[in-house]
Amino acid sequence: MRAYLLGGRPLVFPFFSGALRYDCPSCEAPCCKGAALGIGSSRELVTIQEAQPRSPLFAVPTFQQSQRLALQTPAERCWFLDSKRRCRLERVIGRQAKPAGCRLFPFVRFRNAGETVVVLPDFLCPITIGAPTGVGPSSHDALALEIHHSQVGRSGHKELPVPRDLPWADAMPLERRVVEEAERHLFEESYLPYAELQHLLALAALGIDGKTGALAKVEETVRRFIGATDKPSREAVREVVALTGVLRLQASSLPRREVPAVLVALSVFVAVAEGMRGASRTPRTAVSIWEAQLPLLYALAHLQSRPVVKSGVTLREAVGELPTVRAPLLKVLDEVERNGRRGVAQPLEDILRAQREAFAAPLSADAVAMLHGLGRVLIRACTFVPL
């Protein structure tokens, strides 16, 4: 992976060069409806103001959670979106007249990961996954050049939470290695081999010996627990592999040694989503499940693990943050609390099974909602007894 800098800080693209594609001519242009126009230079502002003299009244101080002047356009459509869903500024004056944020879109989410600035795509855009050609508008070279032309600041970006088990100085080399290794797993039948590799790389970064095979058990357990036998298609596996670098950083607070198991749970859910009546899977399927269901995936990825409450933490605080807490979940949390005092801590699946029907497959919507709550408490207040 080539090295790029942004104002002297390492700049990292956690995805293959040239593989994340988008096709504006065939698109409904959601990026031009209700989005803010990220301003790169005063020249852009002059051009916009000449075309829309009142537009400065809609200025806002941030763009995509970075400190950058922007103009908030109407929810219906941008002032410059024409009837053919093309940008009038680009059509009449040329590409350089487009605001910097629009030229960079969908690669506009800049985040601080310690000393490094990472670039995350905005999945409002119907991104597809192509071959990692290293050329084209989403190649790292092209993006780095556009970022330079767009005068993206070296600071003022939102902080990504530090992984719970590794400081960024050690975690970022791991993240880069995980993306580098992904290419040879693009055409696998299953996500497991890549997940196993991620797990071993994380253990190595933590100075812990590890062996393969742990994640096959996770996959089998998740499937059994939710009552699903679906296997992801090769296309679905390819999409999760290609987006792994981005997804891992979107969940940066999670311990690096635990993320591969959670990604395995994701691959099971992508397979389920794919098999549903009327479903159409795209790369955004995996992203939306990851963003909406992460606490659930976290709980399911730890069914074989033995949860205990972290020292100095009470479950009460974590439970207090949950929207609603139903009786079966309270009983589960009581058992988790007792786990710390037991000679041998119980695996999470056994604790859940003891609640009989409440968590029996096929899982009810109530059960899944409770598992969401459990996942949030586990992330917030628990750790796991090593097997």
Smaller CB separation from ligand SF4, 106 or 156:
106
Tokens of 273: 């989503």
Tokens of 169: 């100085």
Looking at residue 341, its amino acid is R
Smaller CB separation from ligand SF4, 30 or 227:
30
Smallest distance, ligand SF4 to C-beta of residue 373, A: 34
Smallest distance, ligand SF4 to C-beta of residue 85, A: 7
The residues that touch ligand SF4, with contacts defined as CB under 6 A, are 22-24, 27, 29-31, 105-106, 125
Smaller CB separation from ligand SF4, 242 or 358:
242
Looking at residue 347, its amino acid is P
Looking at residue 386, its amino acid is P
Q: Are 248 and 259 in contact (CB under 8 A)?
A: yes
Helix 234-250 to helix 168-182 angle (10° resolution) is 170
Helix 192-205 to helix 168-182 angle (10° resolution) is 150
Smallest distance, ligand SF4 to C-beta of residue 29, A: 4
Cα separation values, 103 from 98, 138, 149, Å: 6, 11, 10
Smaller CB separation from ligand SF4, 16 or 105:
105
Could you say which DSSP state residue 161 is in?
P
Smallest distance, ligand SF4 to C-beta of residue 50, A: 24
Strands (E), the chain: 4-6, 9-12, 20-21, 36-38, 59-63, 66-72, 109-113, 116-120, 128-129, 158-159, 306-309, 382-385
Helix, strand, coil share (%) of the chain residues, nearest 5: 50, 15, 40
Smallest distance, ligand SF4 to C-beta of residue 297, A: 27
Smallest distance, ligand SF4 to C-beta of residue 105, A: 5
Smallest distance, ligand SF4 to C-beta of residue 94, A: 17
Smaller CB separation from ligand SF4, 24 or 145:
24
Burial 142-168 (b: 16+ CB within 10 A, else e): bbbebbeebebeeeebeebeebebbeb
Smaller CB separation from ligand SF4, 87 or 294:
87
Cα separation values, 239 from 6, 61, 336, Å: 28, 35, 35
Cα–Cα distance measured from residue 110 to residue 7, given in angstroms and rounded to the nearest whole number: 13
Smaller CB separation from ligand SF4, 22 or 331:
22
Cα–Cα distance measured from residue 263 to residue 270, given in angstroms and rounded to the nearest whole number: 10
Smallest distance, ligand SF4 to C-beta of residue 202, A: 33
Looking at residue 104, its amino acid is L
Cα–Cα distance measured from residue 34 to residue 357, given in angstroms and rounded to the nearest whole number: 45
Smallest distance, ligand SF4 to C-beta of residue 371, A: 33
CA angle 150, 156, 157 (to 5 degrees): 85
Smaller CB separation from ligand SF4, 24 or 169:
24
Smaller CB separation from ligand SF4, 124 or 206:
124
Smallest distance, ligand SF4 to C-beta of residue 282, A: 12
Tokens of 238: 């390819």
Smaller CB separation from ligand SF4, 34 or 255:
34
Cα separation values, 370 from 125, 237, 272, Å: 32, 28, 20
